[in-house]
């Protein structure tokens, strides 16, 4: 080895410090890992806000038909799907970008809008996906306290100085399930500097829009507003990886350049097109969520557990302390039920449970009734 080679810094040493310092996202354990670890045939997985009814059968049929065509590259700009979404929502196709999940669009937006070292703003407890991708781009993040697990919109407006490149607002938020209203969004959009992009993440809109004061963000479109939505939650296509963004055509053009050229896959595009049309399947999931959420509230109330009313497909529960969370999580796992402890989300005393099928929820209620008094 020559002297120069010995002295050359390693690849790792050359990496930006902000990449080496990144904390990885810790997803819920995959089903197979849980089954293997606990020796179960069947696990009730209520850990990742997936659709308990699965995918729409029409989406599966449409995706299956595309399998043999996957030797070709897919349409890089998802023309058919964008046209379909535009028609339903009363938009133009050039206001839409489709990518491999809304997470991909979170990352693309950060890359498109911010330079390393620049600043973004969000609320404490906001969905971590944004923070992780921002860190990977060398962005700085300021977090505004969220009293009672709700975003403090006035405080966010006050903190949003013209040097803030992105104001990230997941609504409803994951993991808390709390939401801000149409009126609040309207005020915020009027007051935030035009140089700040308001990144409104509506991953759970299909569940939340049944609430009368949930924002109708499409009626508030302005140049510095970008809305993200996904097929992962209410549409049941999490594994296909497909989501979309709605914004000003000039912004959409930049995001289309910066996203991975051939995302999402052909099969994902076909699945999403079919799922978009299968409103019966979508409504079945939304109605199940509404009625089962009420049952959760009743049981949590009965057990004296503190929860945050949720606009999503999950419920956020505050426990006594981190040890209680640990014991509850372990006891539920031993009964074959996977929920989400929230330490890695910044809430060491809290858990999140995804609303499942009635029979999955019944089993969870029974388990909670057995475990909680022993904690
Ligand atoms: C608020 C929020 N935004 C975005 C995402 C990412 O979803 P996907 O990339 O599957 O569209 C999630 C997933 O949990 C989420 O909860």
Residue 95 lies in a domain: yes
Q: How far is the CA of 233 from the centre of ligand 1 (A)?
A: 8
Q: For ligand 1, atom 12, which residue shows the shortest CA distance?
A: 203
Indicate if 48 and 92 belong to the same structural domain. Answer: no
What DSSP line would sit under 8-52, residue for residue?
SPPHHHHS-HHHHTPPPP-PPPPHHHHHHHHT-S--EE-SS---T
Q: For ligand 1, atom 6, which residue shows the shortest CA distance?
A: 103
Q: How far is the CA of 230 from the centre of ligand 1 (A)?
A: 7
Residues 242-265 have a mean pLDDT of 98
Residue 332 lies in a domain: yes
Indicate if 335 and 233 belong to the same structural domain. Answer: no
Indicate if 98 and 167 belong to the same structural domain. Answer: yes
Listed residues 278, 298, 313: the one ending a domain? 278
CA distance 149 to 107: 25
Q: Distance of CA 175 to CAs 63, 87, 245, 283, 336, Å?
A: 30, 32, 21, 23, 22
Task: Considering only residues 9 and 134, tell me which one the structure prediction assigns the higher pLDDT.
Answer: 134
CA distance 69 to 220: 40
Indicate if 176 and 227 belong to the same structural domain. Answer: yes
Atom from ligand 1 closest to the CA of residue 242 = 11
Q: Which two three-digit tokens encode residue 232?
A: 């992962």
Domains contained in the chain, number: 2
Atom from ligand 1 closest to the CA of residue 241 = 10
Q: pTM for the full model?
A: 0.95
Indicate if 259 and 349 belong to the same structural domain. Answer: no
Residue 290 lies in a domain: yes
Residue 1 lies in a domain: no
The angle that helices 266-277 and 279-302 make with each other, rounded to 10 degrees, is 80
Q: Which of 102, 235, 313 to mutate to test the pocket of ligand 1 (most atoms within 8 A of CB)?
A: 102
Q: How far is the CA of 229 from the centre of ligand 1 (A)?
A: 8
CA distance 206 to 286: 7
Band (8; pLDDT cuts 50, 70, 90):
confident
Look up the CATH number of the domain holding residue 308: 3.90.1150.10
Indicate if 102 and 160 belong to the same structural domain. Answer: yes
Band (6; pLDDT cuts 50, 70, 90):
low
Indicate if 153 and 197 belong to the same structural domain. Answer: yes
Q: How far is the CA of 244 from the centre of ligand 1 (A)?
A: 11
Q: Which of 175, 230, 259 to mutate to test the pocket of ligand 1 (most atoms within 8 A of CB)?
A: 230
Listed residues 236, 255, 278: the one ending a domain? 278
Indicate if 15 and 96 belong to the same structural domain. Answer: no
**pLDDT by residue (tens digit) across 310-334?**
999 999 999 999 999 999 999 999 9
CB 167 within 8 Å of CB 122: yes
Q: How far is the CA of 175 from the centre of ligand 1 (A)?
A: 11
CB 9 within 8 Å of CB 134: no
Q: Which of 189, 18, 260, 201 is nearest to 115 (CA)?
A: 18
Residue 286 lies in a domain: yes
> 353 is in which domain, residue-wise?
6-53+280-374
The three state secondary structure string of 139-180 is CEEEEECCHHHCCCHHHHHHHCCCCEEEEEEECCCCCCCCCC
Indicate if 266 and 300 belong to the same structural domain. Answer: no
pLDDT at 3 over 60: no
CB 147 within 8 Å of CB 103: no
Listed residues 256, 278, 300: the one ending a domain? 278
pLDDT at 39 over 60: yes
Q: How far apart are the first and last CA of the chain?
A: 61
Q: How far is the CA of 112 from the centre of ligand 1 (A)?
A: 19
Look up the CATH number of the domain holding residue 73: 3.40.640.10
Q: How far is the CA of 203 from the centre of ligand 1 (A)?
A: 6
**pLDDT by residue (tens digit) across 123-179?**
999 999 999 999 999 999 999 999 999 999 999 999 999 999 999 999 999 999 999
pLDDT at 57 over 90: yes
- Taken as a whole, the chain contains a residue count of 375
CB 305 within 8 Å of CB 319: yes
Q: How far is the CA of 65 from the centre of ligand 1 (A)?
A: 27
pLDDT of residue 37: 81
Residue 152 lies in a domain: yes
CA distance 124 to 366: 33
Residues 293-299 have a mean pLDDT of 98
pLDDT of residue 4: 55
Atom from ligand 1 closest to the CA of residue 127 = 1
Q: Which of 101, 173, 340 to mutate to test the pocket of ligand 1 (most atoms within 8 A of CB)?
A: 101
Indicate if 226 and 293 belong to the same structural domain. Answer: no
Residues 278-286 have a mean pLDDT of 98
pLDDT of residue 257: 97
Residue 74 lies in a domain: yes
Task: Considering only residues 332 and 34, tell me which one the structure prediction assigns the higher pLDDT.
Answer: 332
**pLDDT by residue (tens digit) across 43-52?**
999 999 999 9
pLDDT of residue 33: 81
Residues 224-233 have a mean pLDDT of 98
CA distance 278 to 235: 9
Indicate if 223 and 307 belong to the same structural domain. Answer: no
207: preceding bond cis by omega (within 30 degrees)? no
Indicate if 149 and 229 belong to the same structural domain. Answer: yes
CB 356 within 8 Å of CB 364: yes
Q: How far is the CA of 202 from the centre of ligand 1 (A)?
A: 9
| Pocket (CB within 6 angstroms of ligand 1) | 49, 101-103, 127, 129, 170, 174, 201, 203, 230, 232, 238, 243
CB 90 within 8 Å of CB 113: no
**Whole-number mean pLDDT of the chain?**
95
Residue 207 lies in a domain: yes
């Amino acid at each position: 080895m020559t002297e120069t080679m010995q002295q050359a810094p390693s690849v790792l040493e050359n990496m930006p410090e902000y990449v080496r310092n990144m904390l990885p996202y810790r997803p819920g354990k995959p089903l197979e890992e849980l089954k293997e670890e606990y020796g179960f045939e069947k696990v009730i997985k209520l850990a990742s806000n997936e659709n308990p009814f699965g995918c729409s059968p029409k989406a599966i049929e449409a995706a299956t038909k595309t399998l043999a065509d996957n030797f070709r590259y897919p349409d890089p700009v998802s023309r058919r799907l964008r046209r379909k979404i535009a028609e339903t929502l009363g938009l133009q196709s050039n206001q839409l970008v489709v990518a491999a999940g809304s997470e991909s669009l979170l990352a693309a937006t950060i890359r498109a809008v911010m330079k390393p070292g620049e600043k973004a703003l969000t609320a404490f407890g906001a969905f971590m996906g944004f923070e992780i991708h921002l860190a990977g781009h060398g962005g700085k993040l300021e977090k505004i306290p969220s009293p009672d697990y709700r975003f403090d919109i006035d405080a966010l407006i006050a903190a949003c100085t013209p040097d803030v490149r992105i104001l990230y607002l997941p609504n409803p938020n994951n993991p808390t399930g709390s939401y801000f209203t149409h009126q609040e969004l309207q005020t915020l959009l009027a007051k935030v500097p035009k140089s700040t992009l308001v990144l409104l993440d509506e991953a759970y809109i299909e569940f939340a829009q049944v609430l009368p004061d949930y924002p109708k963000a499409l009626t508030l479109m302005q140049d510095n507003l970008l809305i993200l939505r996904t097929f992962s939650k209410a549409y049941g296509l999490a594994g296909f990886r497909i989501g979309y963004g709605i914004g000003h055509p000039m912004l959409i053009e930049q995001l289309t350049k910066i996203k991975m050229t051939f995302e999402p896959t052909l099969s994902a595009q076909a699945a999403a097109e079919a799922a978009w049309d299968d409103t019966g399947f979508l409504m079945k999931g939304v109605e199940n969520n509404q009625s089962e959420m009420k049952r959760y509230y009743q049981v949590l109330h009965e057990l004296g557990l503190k929860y945050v009313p949720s606009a999503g497909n999950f419920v956020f529960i505050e426990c006594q302390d981190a040890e209680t969370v640990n014991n509850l999580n372990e006891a539920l796992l031993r009964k074959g039920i996977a929920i989400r402890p929230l330490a890695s989300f910044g809430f060491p005393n809290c858990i999140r449970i995804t609303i499942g099928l009635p029979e999955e929820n019944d089993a969870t209620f029974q388990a909670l009734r057995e475990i909680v008094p022993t904690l």
